[in-house]
Structure 1
Amino acid sequence: MGSADSGSQLPIISIAPYWDSQSANTTEREAVSKALHAACVEYGFFYLDISQCVDLAEPEELARLAREFFALPQVEKDKIALKHQDFARGYQRLKENVTNGKADNHEGIDIYRPVENPDKSRPLWGENQWPTVLGFQTKYEKWIEKMKKLGMILMEAMAYGLGMNAEEWRDLRAQVDDSFWVMRIIGYPSLPDDHDGFSCGAHKDYGCLTLLYADPTKSALQVFLRKRLWINADPIPGCIVCNIGEMWEIWTNGLYKSTLHRVVHRGTNYRIPFFFEPNFTARVAPLPVAGDTPNEVYKPIVYGEFLMKKVGSNFSVDPVPGGKHD
Structure 2
Amino acid sequence: MSTAAALHSACLEYGFFYLDISKYVDPKEPEELTRLAREFFALPEEEKYKIALRNEDGARGYARLKENVTNGLADNHEGVDFYRPVEFPDRTKPLWGTNQWPSIPGFREKYEAWVEKMKKLGLAVMEAMATGLGMTPEEWEDLKSQVSNSFWVMRMIGYPPLPNDYQGFSCGAHKDYGCLTFLYADPTPGALEVFLERPGHLVQTAPDIPPSENVEQFGVWIKADPIPGCVVCNIGEMWEIWTNGLYKSTLHRVVHRSSNYRVSIPFFFEPNFDAFIKALPAALRLQDGEPKKPGKRAIEERKYEPVVYGQFLLSKVANNFDTNGVKSRYT
1:308 matched residue in structure 2: 314
User: What's the secondary structure of 1:145's corresponding residue?
Assistant: helix
- Is 1:230 paired with 2:221? yes
Q: Which runs of 5+ in 2 are unaligned?
A: 199-218, 289-299
Query: Aligned-pair distance for 1:214?
Result: 1.4
CA distance in 2: counterparts of 1:175 and 1:309, whole angstroms = 19
- Is 1:288 paired with 2:294? no
1:81-230 to structure 2, matched below 5 A, reads 81-227=52-198, 228-230=219-221
1:26 matched residue in structure 2: none
- Is 1:243 paired with 2:248? no
Distance 1:295 1:165, change over 3 A: closer
- Is 1:254 paired with 2:260? no
Query: Aligned-pair distance for 1:93?
Result: 0.4
- Is 1:325 paired with 2:316? no
Query: Aligned-pair distance for 1:295?
Result: 7.7
CA offset digits 1:198-237 (Å, max 9, x no partner) = 1000000010000000121111000001210110000000
Query: Aligned-pair distance for 1:324?
Result: 4.7
Residue 297 of structure 1 aligns with an amino acid whose one-letter code is K
Give the strand-richer structure, 1 or 2: 2
Query: Aligned-pair distance for 1:130?
Result: 0.3
Query: Aligned-pair distance for 1:315?
Result: 4.3
CA offset digits 1:44-63 (Å, max 9, x no partner) = 00000111111000000000
Query: Aligned-pair distance for 1:312?
Result: 2.1
CA distance in 2: counterparts of 1:236 and 1:214, whole angstroms = 9
Distance 1:322 1:90, change over 3 A: farther
Runs (4+) off by over 6 Å: 293-296
1:52 matched residue in structure 2: 23
CA distance in 1: counterparts of 2:125 and 2:41, whole angstroms = 31
Query: Aligned-pair distance for 1:35?
Result: 0.1
**Contact residue 96 and residue 317 of structure 1 kept, 8 A:** no
Residue 221 of structure 2 aligns with an amino acid whose one-letter code is W
Query: Aligned-pair distance for 1:316?
Result: 4.5
Cα RMSD (Å): 1.6
**Contact residue 97 and residue 316 of structure 1 kept, 8 A:** no
Distance 1:322 1:86, change over 3 A: farther
* Alignment equivalent of 1:298, drawn from 304, 311, 315: 304
**Contact residue 69 and residue 328 of structure 2 kept, 8 A:** no
**Contact residue 253 and residue 286 of structure 1 kept, 8 A:** yes
1:17 matched residue in structure 2: none
**Contact residue 192 and residue 252 of structure 2 kept, 8 A:** yes
Query: Aligned-pair distance for 1:197?
Result: 1.6
Query: Aligned-pair distance for 1:247?
Result: 0.4
Distance 1:262 1:318, change over 3 A: closer
Distance 1:323 1:47, change over 3 A: same
CA offset digits 1:98-150 (Å, max 9, x no partner) = 11111100000000000000000011000000000111000000000000000
CA distance in 2: counterparts of 1:256 and 1:312, whole angstroms = 26
1:66-81 to structure 2, matched below 5 A, reads 66-81=37-52
**Contact residue 216 and residue 235 of structure 1 kept, 8 A:** yes
Q: Which moved more, 1:189-198 or 1:54-63?
A: 189-198
**Contact residue 36 and residue 161 of structure 1 kept, 8 A:** yes
CA distance in 2: counterparts of 1:295 and 1:269, whole angstroms = 44
TM-score by length of 2: 0.87
CA distance in 1: counterparts of 2:239 and 2:115, whole angstroms = 21
State percent identity of aligned pairs.
68
1:3 matched residue in structure 2: none
CA distance in 2: counterparts of 1:167 and 1:186, whole angstroms = 39
CA distance in 1: counterparts of 2:50 and 2:167, whole angstroms = 31
Query: Aligned-pair distance for 1:296?
Result: 6.3
CA offset digits 1:166-190 (Å, max 9, x no partner) = 1100000000000000000000011
CA distance in 1: counterparts of 2:43 and 2:101, whole angstroms = 14
TM-score by length of 1: 0.88
CA distance in 1: counterparts of 2:302 and 2:10, whole angstroms = 20
CA distance in 1: counterparts of 2:70 and 2:302, whole angstroms = 26
Residue 325 of structure 1 aligns with an amino acid whose one-letter code is Y
CA offset digits 1:218-260 (Å, max 9, x no partner) = 1100000121011000000010000000000100000000000
**Contact residue 87 and residue 322 of structure 1 kept, 8 A:** no
